[in-house]
Amino acid sequence: MAEQNLALVKSALSRQRIETPSWAYGNSGTRFKVFAQAGVPRTVHEKLDDAARVHQHTGVAPLVALHIPWDRTEDYAALAEYAGERGLRLGAINANVFQEDEYKLGSVTNPDPAVRRKALDHLMECADIMDATGSRDLKLWFSDGLNYPGQDDLRARQERLAEALWSVYERLGPDQRLVLEYKLFEPAFYATDVPDWGTSYAHCLKLGPKARVCVDTGHHAPGTNIEFIVAFLLGEQKLGAFDFNSRFYADDDLMVGAADPFQLFRILYEVRAGGGLPGTPESAESDPGIAFMLDQCHNIEPKIPAIIRSVMNVQEATAKALLVDREALRDAQQSGDVLGANAVLMDAYNTDVRPLLGEVREELGADRDPMAAYAASGWAEAIVRDRVGGRQAGWGA
Ligand code: LRH
Ligand code: MN
Ligand code: MN
């Protein structure tokens, strides 16, 4: 590769920021069992301590997303300061209106106005927290939906949803955004109120420029072409964030890039092509400010190295996406060379980018091999020794 292009690829890689979720540092499980691990954080502060290790070794993970009330604390400005002292920043504030008894029939779409009020109050509290932490994004995922046909009025629920979203949207400051996440099913099994990107997009479009769609890669029907969704949303300036994870069956929340690294590459290629990677010629005009977040649970594997591995998987897919020879691709596409165009993509995908990423990390002052560096650091042993009585990340906590 030409010297100049390589410099560009490296600069884009060193500018990418990957946000890790506070809940991935704590215990989690399926509805059948939570396997508790020794040494997991007991407080949100200890979650930040672990996140700081991930950032130290990788050099690209300074942001940590919070989930309220799982990470509820007395003083959010002080928490932001605590993060800052460790080289971190607090990222998206995730609202949680899915774990209380009142929400059995829905939160913001509940037929009972008192429940809707309670849910909206929580969303407003999250906006207050954003003011204190300096967070840009309010991430909204609603478990609202129906288990049985006829259970409630589908269109009335959309109207209630729109009303709540508008109240939150109006509350946001000029530099704050709302990102609306969709999910096909679960916990509702017949109908979900925000089941797909189209529904999220339609609401965000009505709300205005501060509302964007969040694509959780585990929230689609099997076989869905996620990169198409990404390409479309980016083209419409409506892609706000990713919740990266892998799935084999449903919302499995496995490590991103573990199940289908080729899909992850295709997604990141569309991000690059759509100008979503700062530091590339494609993004020269404007940086759409996409949040590259992880949303995963590490039920059986050690958590910190799993998160490091996930960050590296996103970086590897990004590096391969950056290596795609756009000119050669355009030429092949223009001349109708189907096999040639496909070969350009596959050449990039089949490149071993690990040495390149090792260099990028070294230049960032991080570790060439973050997994080995973490294993040698003694942190895993220290937390087992020092933290007695870890607690669950949130599910059922
Ligand atoms: C829902 C979801 C959403 C929640 C998180 C814990 O399945 O993806 O992002 O906030 O899981
Ligand atoms: Mn998610
Ligand atoms: Mn999910």
DSSP one-letter string for 78-120: HHHHHHHHTT-EEEEEEE--SSSGGGGG-STT-SSHHHHHHHH
pLDDT of 391 > 90? The answer is no
- pLDDT, residue 286, reads 75
Mean local confidence (pLDDT), 225-242:
98
Ligand approaching nearest to the C-alpha of 252: 3
Mean local confidence (pLDDT), 345-350:
98
Is the Cβ atom of 253 under 6 angstroms away from ligand 1?
no
Exposed e or buried b for every residue in 1-13, given b needs 16+ CB within 10 A? eeeeeeebbbebb
Mean local confidence (pLDDT), 168-178:
98
Is the Cβ atom of 216 under 6 angstroms away from ligand 1?
yes
In sequence order, the β-bridge partners of residue 140 are 180
Tokens 């129906």 map to which residue?
146
Ligand approaching nearest to the C-alpha of 253: 3
Q: Measuring CA to CA, which residue among 118, 28, 11 is closest to residue 306?
A: 28
Asked if this assembly's ipTM is beyond 0.85, the reply is: yes
Q: How far is CA 96 from the centre of its chain?
A: 16
Is the Cβ atom of 310 under 6 angstroms away from ligand 1?
no
In this structure, the residue with its CA closest to atom 7 of ligand 1 is 251
Is the Cβ atom of 50 under 6 angstroms away from ligand 1?
no
Is the Cβ atom of 243 under 6 angstroms away from ligand 1?
yes
Confidence of residue 388 (pLDDT cuts 50, 70, 90): confident
- Decide: 38 and 390 in contact? Cβ < 8 Å: yes
Confidence of residue 101 (pLDDT cuts 50, 70, 90): very high
Is the Cβ atom of 71 under 6 angstroms away from ligand 1?
no
Q: How many CB atoms lie within 10 A of CB 156?
A: 11
Confidence of residue 284 (pLDDT cuts 50, 70, 90): confident
- pLDDT, residue 392, reads 59
pLDDT of 234 > 50? The answer is yes
Taking the CA of residue 214 as reference, the ligand 1 atom at the shortest distance is 9
Ligand approaching nearest to the C-alpha of 186: 1
Tens digit of pLDDT for each residue in 288-326? 899 999 999 999 999 999 999 999 999 999 999 999 999
- Decide: 239 and 233 in contact? Cβ < 8 Å: yes
Taking the CA of residue 218 as reference, the ligand 1 atom at the shortest distance is 8
Confidence of residue 394 (pLDDT cuts 50, 70, 90): low
Mean local confidence (pLDDT), 271-294:
92
- pLDDT, residue 396, reads 43
Is the Cβ atom of 316 under 6 angstroms away from ligand 1?
no
CA–CA dist 126, 339 (Å, integer): 50
Confidence of residue 397 (pLDDT cuts 50, 70, 90): very low
Domains of the chain: 16-386 (3.20.20.150)
Q: What percentage of the chain carries pLDDT values higher than 70?
A: 97
- pLDDT, residue 220, reads 98
Confidence of residue 4 (pLDDT cuts 50, 70, 90): low
Q: Alpha carbon of 352 to those of 263, 295, 324, 355: distances in Å?
A: 17, 26, 13, 7
Burial category of 23 from C-beta neighbours within 10 Å (exposed 0-12, middle 13-18, buried 19 and up):
buried
User: How close is the Cα of 251 to the center of ligand 3, in Å?
Assistant: 5
Contacts of 225 (CB under 8 A, 6+ apart): none
Mean local confidence (pLDDT), 332-356:
98
Confidence of residue 3 (pLDDT cuts 50, 70, 90): confident
In sequence order, the β-bridge partners of residue 20 are 64
